Structure formats: structure tokens, C-alpha cells
Amino acid sequence: MSVRTVRPVRTAIAAATVAAALTATVLVPASAAVAAPAKPSRAKPGHAATQQALDAAVAAGVPGAVAQARDGRSRWTGTAGERRGHDRYRVGSITKTFTATVLLQLQTEGRLDLDDAVEKHLPGVVRGNGHDGRKITVRQLLNHTSGIYGYTEDPDLQKRVFGPEFLEHRYDTWTPRQLVAVAMTHEPDFAPGTSWNYSNTNFILAGMVIEKVTGRPYGKAVENRIVKPLKLRATRVPGTDSRMPRPNSGAYSTLGGETGAPTYDVTELNPSMAGAAGEMISDSNDLQTFYRALLKGRLLPPTEMRELTDTVATGMPDLRYGLGLMQQKLSCGKEVWGHGGGIHGSSSQAQVTRDGEHSLAANLNADWTGDTQSVVEAEFCGTAPKKR
């Protein structure tokens, strides 16, 4: 497939951050919660660079950072600032890998084919301003080659999910059809299959396909097919529930402002804005269990595993995209698979080597500063972030 990037793409984290932010009251503007002094943890041998990356994030203004890593049978947990090693957090676009896995399982069972037209399962939904669900496949939703406009790029919607308007709308409920309808008011980014661009609309539609095929919300399929079998006790698909389970260390945002802007507690929000593209809650232990099981072939048979990991170019030289799954080549030459995720007040990474043996999941409870990619580089390459 020939792909070209037609406009600058946000990272998965940035796109998902737009994708799932809702709010209704201003909680304590922040300085007290955010300015807590860092309490660096001592890293075990082999994870010193990872701990340094967590400490660097807190030094940059993140209230707290947490990471867990597994290498074979060895396990390590690191924290910085005001965090616990078993904190729950919103995982943003990491949700996409769960959604894609369910669709691949449904294909295994013969209940759909990823090369089905979207129109077959969602008649009349993808129509308007040049969008045509008859020409777009389910596979193209999952690898972001559909060309469908990302609803989180809509300027009017952005006003409601960023800045002060977020505080008025944090508990609003959005249906998948409403989100897709926003996208349909814009022209496509490109003709299906001719390029690549990250679009949260793709995975809202993917969740709708799951619901049409199974007769139940996509979240029930995720719970029954992945969460329960893998015993992911910290993992939830919250739907419209704005609460965060405990333990958690809160989530903080400048609501689109730069470093130094007032900071707000945005722990509670209605995640229906993100849906199947980014609503889930988990912790670092569960995320590693999921990605390790996935890459080891415990959730999909060989044929579907090949499809999951069949990647397309993204326009970024060290990043390719499979089906809800990223393939990333790090600075040291190592290859990892996983996804990043962002939502107001939360930035996450979950990555694993192709053999499923070395994994990392990390979270920063802020969305205006800090660098989760440096945590990934530190864990897999042993490279500590440079001091500024």
C-alpha cells in the first residue's frame, strides 16, 4: 500500500489527549497539588536510567510519575513525586489496542472480515462531505488509512474540551453517533488507502462495528474477551462513569495553557468523549500483562497475529502502525510494540518487545509537560534523559 502523509500528525498521545476530555467544575487550581516536592525512588540495577527519566519528569513540573517493567521473570517498579506504584490511571489511546484485538477475535470466529466495507455493518453512518463507508474497510479504520476526518480536530469541539469550556462540560455524555457526525461535517483527509493520518473517529467507528456484530456495547466485549480471561483486576471500561477507582494520585491539566498557566484537578471526567478510541482505565501491571499476552499470541491465532502486526508507514521514519498497534524503532536500534495514550491530566506508554519478554508501562499525571518517550528510551536502551 502506498501511503503519504498529507498534513502534520499529532502523536498518539497528543491526539488522544484531544480525544477524551470533559469537565464541569473547577477543582482546586492547583499549585498546592502540583507543587509537591519530588521524592525520587532508588532504582534497582538495570533500571537506573528509567528512574532518572521519572525523576526528570517531576523536575519538569509533573506532579507524579510511575513506571513498571518486566524482563523475563524480574519485575521493577519506580515512582517519582506523589505517586504509588499500583496507581490506576486513564490510559487514553492505549484503548485502541484492546478495541482492535476484539475485532480480530471476531474475524477469527467468522463473524466479520476486516476487509468488509464499513457500510456493511454501519449502513449510512459514514456519509457526508466526501466520506463514503462503501469505500472504506474495517481494516482501514484500524490502521488509520481510511482518510476519515478526526472528530477531535473539529475547532468547535476543541473549544468544549480545552480551555475554560472544559470546566463547563466535563460531565457531558457523547454518543458514538454524535462524535462521528462531527467528523462527517468535514471533508476526508485523503482517499481511502492512499495515505495515513491518525484519526480518533476510526476507533469510534470500530467500537460501533463491535456493537453491531455482537449486539452489546464494545466495552462488554473487551471485558469478556480480554479483561476477565487475563484477570486484569485494575482495568475498566468506564462508559459514562466520571469517577476514578482508587488508588489513584489525581490528574492535572492546564486546560491547553502552556507551562506556568493555572493548573486544575481534572481527575473526574466523563470519558464518553473518547469511547473505543481512548476511554479505558488501568494500571501499569495490567497493561504489561495485556501486551505481553497479546504479543505472545495468547489472545489471537497466528493468522490474526500476522494481520495485527502488518504495519503501514506513518510518515515518521521510526514509527509504523499495525492494527491498533505501533511498531517503534528506538535510538539504540531496539524494536518495541505497543501504544501511547493521552487524556486530560494523563500521559501513558505501554510497550513490549516482539517476543513479549521485556515490557514497560508508564504514566505521568499531567498533560502539559513531561516526556513519556524518554521513559521508554531509558528502559529499553538504558539512556537517561539529558539534563537541561
Q: Can you give the residue ranges of every domain in the chain?
A: 12-30+44-381
User: 124 CB contacts (<8 Å, ≥6 apart)?
Assistant: 133
Mean pLDDT of 233-251: 97
pLDDT of residue 1: 37
Residue 36 has pLDDT above 70, yes or no: no
Mean pLDDT of 354-368: 97
**Of 153-167, 204-218, 248-262, which has the strongest mean pLDDT?**
204-218
Catalytic residue among 93, 146, 195, 272: 93
Determine contact, residues 329/335, Cβ cutoff 8 Å: yes
pLDDT of residue 164: 72
Of the given ranges (25-39, 57-71, 137-151, 194-208), which has the lowest mean pLDDT?
Answer: 25-39
pLDDT of residue 323: 98
Residue 8 has pLDDT above 80, yes or no: no
**323, burial (CB in 10 Å: exposed 0-12, middle 13-18, buried 19+):** buried
pLDDT of residue 387: 58
pLDDT, the chain, mean: 89
> Which CATH number is associated with domain 12-30+44-381?
3.40.710.10
pLDDT of residue 46: 80
Residue 7 has pLDDT above 50, yes or no: no
pLDDT of residue 256: 83
Residue 22 pLDDT grade (very low, low, confident, very high; cuts 50, 70, 90): very low
Residue 12 has pLDDT above 70, yes or no: no
Residue 76 has pLDDT above 90, yes or no: yes
Task: Give the count of beta carbons closer than 10 Å to the beta carbon of residue 169.
Answer: 18
Of the given ranges (27-31, 45-49, 285-289), which has the lowest mean pLDDT?
Answer: 27-31
pLDDT of residue 161: 82
Among this protein's residues, is 199 annotated catalytic?
no
Rg (CA), the chain: 19
Q: Provide the whole-model pTM.
A: 0.90
Q: Write 295-304 long-range contacts (CB < 8 A, 24+).
A: 295/337, 295/352, 295/353, 295/354, 295/355, 295/356, 296/355, 296/356, 299/101, 299/105, 299/225, 299/226, 300/101, 300/104, 300/105, 300/108, 301/108, 303/108, 304/104, 304/105, 304/107, 304/108
Question: To which H or E segment does residue 78 belong?
Answer: strand 74-81
pLDDT of residue 32: 29
Q: Which of 273, 139, 146 is nearest to 197 (CA)?
A: 146
Mean pLDDT of 187-216: 98
Mean pLDDT of 213-236: 98
Of the given ranges (41-45, 228-232, 243-247), which has the lowest mean pLDDT?
Answer: 41-45
Of the given ranges (5-9, 184-188, 264-268), which has the lowest mean pLDDT?
Answer: 5-9
